[in-house]
A and B are shown apart, each in its own frame.
Chain A
Amino acid sequence: MNGALALTIALPLLGAFLLPVLMRVSVAFGVWIGPAILAYGCWILGDLWLTGSMQPFSVALGGFAPPLGINLYADTLALLFALAAQLLGLIFWPFKLDQDSARRQALMLLLVAASTGLALSGDLFNLYVFYELTAVATFGLVAASGTSAAYAATIRYLILSGIGSVLTLFGIALIYGQTGTLNLAHLAQLAPEQLSNELGLAAFLSLLIGIGVKAELFPVNTWVPEVYATASSRLSAFLAGLVSKLALLIILRLLLLVFHQPEAAQVILILGILGVVSGELAAWRAKEMRRMLAFSSIGQLGVLFIAMALPDGQGMLAVLALALHHLVIKSGLFMLADGWGGALQRLRGSAAASPLAAGLFVLFSLSLVGMPPLPGFWAKFTLITELAGQTEPLYLMGLTVFLLATVVEAAYLFRVAAIIYQSAPQERRPDEIPKAGGLSLATAGLFGAGLIATTLLIAPVGDRLQTIAAQAQDVDLYINTVFPATPGASQ
């Protein structure tokens, strides 16, 4: 049963390889392959989630026991994000049919497979490979929109990401040179002796900056506004919603398992604070929906980094809650931006044209700024209580910045809401008013419904998140799962 986990990565890859061929044979058949594979992936993961004993397990790929071979590590956290990857892949599936749809769908499958791999893999270099696969698939998908600006944005992203991979590889080289292993569990065993020194710290920082490119870490996130402004909304939603969280998850795992230096947390904290400040402030002046969302996304990721910097994984629950919350909200908002992209001033009167979309926008905004009893409030609450409990002034500064940024965020989000609800200018014809509608509105509605459902079920959801966080925080559990006392029992 657990072996089926590998299928969630293998099948999308298989589908991607075969899709161009099959689409040539029969388009009508080909278009269903991708969604079918992803739906099956969802089913596998959902099945594991529901029937599993909630105990983490490890799958050795190729049948080679973990420190030698590569393993997939599936605790509830990893399963959750793997499931999110497949599910969001399904939701944001590029349905559009044209001459490029085979390639685009293949790339999307690759992106989903890579995201799933990022969530599950327990090997450092393997993570790097999936990370690169995510990057390359993203380049292709961004460039697929075919505008000149998209190409320019892609090349900027590509070059930044290239530097990121150079730094990541450098960090991996340092770690391997020092410890001689790449397995995260093995590293976790060795780290207290071998990596709690300058070299370990340097390796971590290289990895942090390298992987941070995707996680929208300040200041290596300058690609974000352009890419989100030029890519299709569905892709932006996937990138901002999921991929950034997965990169963050890797950094979190590294921090938790391998690198325990307080300096590492401090760097993350400082960069996180700068991210919040720069992102939220830049969004304040944004004149255009997607750029505003992109900047706001940078700010939110900064908040996540602040949460992550809490010592000894105390921020795990906050990170998890904030990440999931942001995933839902940003996906929904980008879906709305599908119809409402472009200048904010053009949106005057759109509420009358599409009231549901306007309502969803307000709902998402309210949750984003943390209005109780919406889930965003609880996520923020878990963060600030942890932050206030710290004695170091830097954490309190993080708290202050976070609170002030929320005010700024509320101001610019509701400025947009006010514009939407303004009556349309007289000189505009009704058909000039941007409408949010169709599939993207339905998708946004899906996220909105999820948000409301979570609001109603906040108590059980909160309990579940706490168990997930507790499990993810447990380093010994991780090591014992990957290296069980009786060999082979993990299978």
Chain B
Amino acid sequence: MIPALTPELILYATAIGLTTIGLAGVVLSVHLFRMVLSLVIAEAGVNLMLVLAGYRWDAVAPILTSLGEQPAMVDPVPQAMVLTAIVIGVGVQALAVSILIRIRQRYATLDRWEVAERMDADIAATAGTPRDVSQEAPLGERPLPPIPAKRVDPSGSES
């Protein structure tokens, strides 16, 4: 059975579809940059969802055009919230990419599993504990990818 192509189906499907694709992307991505991108997508979906929560049939935008009798307006509150949410989203995104830049400089990779492994090794080294041997490192040491010389920012160690 194909459901009728009602506007709410389209719009909700879009909002939730974007959210879901975004979340799936975050889960499935191996590349950290794609994870950030996926988050952006998911946020877009949720923003749409918020606006939908205030949408009203046959209403106008919430701006007064004339004094006196007002036509029905859509709900302004969700719109204000979405404004806030969009800006918050971009702030987080900017922060995320700047951290990515640093990780790329230090670890020469953005593969999440490799980053996680390097992080574990780093923490263990700082703490002075022997690393737990995992299935990912079955026999002895698995060499981690060396940091290629050309990628190293010579001034990257200033902080």
Q: Which residues does A use to contact B, with CB under 8 Å?
A: 100, 125, 129, 132, 135-136, 139-140, 143, 146-149, 151-156, 158-159, 162-163, 165-166, 169-170, 172-174, 176-177, 180, 182, 226, 229-230, 287-291, 341-346
Contact = CB atoms under 8 A, between A and B. Distances in A.
B84 A129 contact: yes
B52 A173 contact: yes
Contacts, number: 137
Given A159-B96, A166-B39, 18 more contacts: A129-B88, A132-B92, A135-B92, A147-B126, A148-B106, A149-B123, A151-B102, A152-B116, A155-B115, A163-B23, A163-B42, A169-B46, A176-B53, A180-B75, A226-B123, A343-B128, A345-B129, A346-B128
Given A129-B88, A148-B118, A155-B96, A170 B19 contact: yes
Nearest to A290: B127
A166 B19 contact: yes
Contact of A182 (B77, B123, B129): B77
Given A159-B35, A341-B127, A343-B129, A172 B118 contact: no
A135 B102 CA distance: 19
Interface in B113-159: 115-116, 118-119, 122-124, 126-130, 159
A151 B53 contact: no
13 contacts: A148-B103, A149-B126, A152-B103, A155-B103, A156-B116, A162-B92, A163-B39, A166-B46, A169-B47, A169-B50, A176-B81, A341-B127, A344-B129
Interface of B: 19, 22-23, 26, 32, 35-36, 39, 42-43, 45-47, 49-50, 52-54, 75, 77-78, 81, 84-85, 88, 91-92, 95-96, 99-100, 102-103, 106-107, 115-116, 118-119, 122-124, 126-130, 159
Contacts of A132: 88, 92
B95 A139 contact: yes
Q: Which of A100, A125, A182 neighbours the largest number of chain B CB atoms within 10 Å of its CB?
A: A125
A288 B118 CA distance: 17
A141 to B, nearest CB: 12
Nearest to A288: B127
Interface of A is mostly: helix
A135 B84 CA distance: 16
Nearest to A170: B46
A140 B98 CA distance: 11
Q: Is the interface of B mostly helix, strand, loop or mixed?
A: helix
A176 B52 CA distance: 10
A125 B81 contact: yes
Given A151-B106, A163-B23, A173 B46 contact: yes
Contacts of B75: 180
Nearest to B40: A162
B49 A170 contact: yes
Contacts of A176: 50, 53-54, 77-78, 81
Given A163-B26, A226-B123, A287-B129, A158 B92 contact: yes
Nearest to B130: A287
B115 A152 contact: yes
A136 B95 contact: yes
Contact of A226 (B47, B84, B119, B159): B119
Contacts of A341: 127
Contacts of A343: 127-129
Contacts of B26: 159, 162-163
